[in-house]
Amino acid sequence: MSYLQTRLGLQWPIIQAPMAGVSTPQLAAAVSNAGGLGSLGIGACSAAQARDMLEATRARTGRPFNVNVFCHVPARRDAQREAAWLQHLAPLFAEVGATPPAALQEIYPTFRDDAQTLELLLQLRPAVVSFHFGLPDAARTQALRAAGIFLLATATNVHEALQIERAGLDAIVAQGMEAGGHRGVFDPDVPD
């Protein structure tokens, strides 16, 4: 039996990919009920939406499941560059009869500065929390660990895996280029 199976009481050493935006409580619960580790990707959710997903999953399973958050560096706003993109995209919106947005918005909040989601996780204490696109600061990691939560992070290269190891997380998820068309790289400026 693997460390993950023993620690979490899993029948199978299988983790369902969190898939932010498409993972559902039904899928996560089904995977957990079948003996794997079901996952919820809450990277595109508000804390209130995440609460609903966690509670709906808990209503469907008493088994451990994973809650995945994004830990990317927030986008640096550049009004001039954003206006240029909107101008560039305007003809494409016109082609399909749609109105372009008035401004660009970052659609994925980062857990690095999301106090509401941290509080939610500390309150509901899912068995597992995993990090994607980077790591939170040590204070957040320590708070989750003190709450008894098993911590995972995705690494796409050895450098990232070493960062995860130094952060003292419980396990590393190695992610290759076959990961659904994108990878959870810590630094998007580093060659993939």
Q: What are phi and psi of 97, to 5 degrees?
A: 70, 30
Q: Are 129 and 151 in contact (CB under 8 A)?
A: yes
CA distance to 30, 64, 69, 153, 186, per residue, from 27 (Å): 5, 13, 17, 21, 27
83's CB contacts (< 8 A; 6+ apart) are none
Distances (CA, A) of 122 to 43, 50, 146: 17, 13, 9
Which of 8, 144, 3 has its CA nearest to residue 63? 8
CB of 16 closer than 8 Å to CB of 38: yes
Token digits for 152?
Answer: 């995972």
Which residues are known to be catalytic?
A: 182
**Burial label, 55 (beta-carbon count in 10 A; 0-12, 13-18, 19+):** exposed
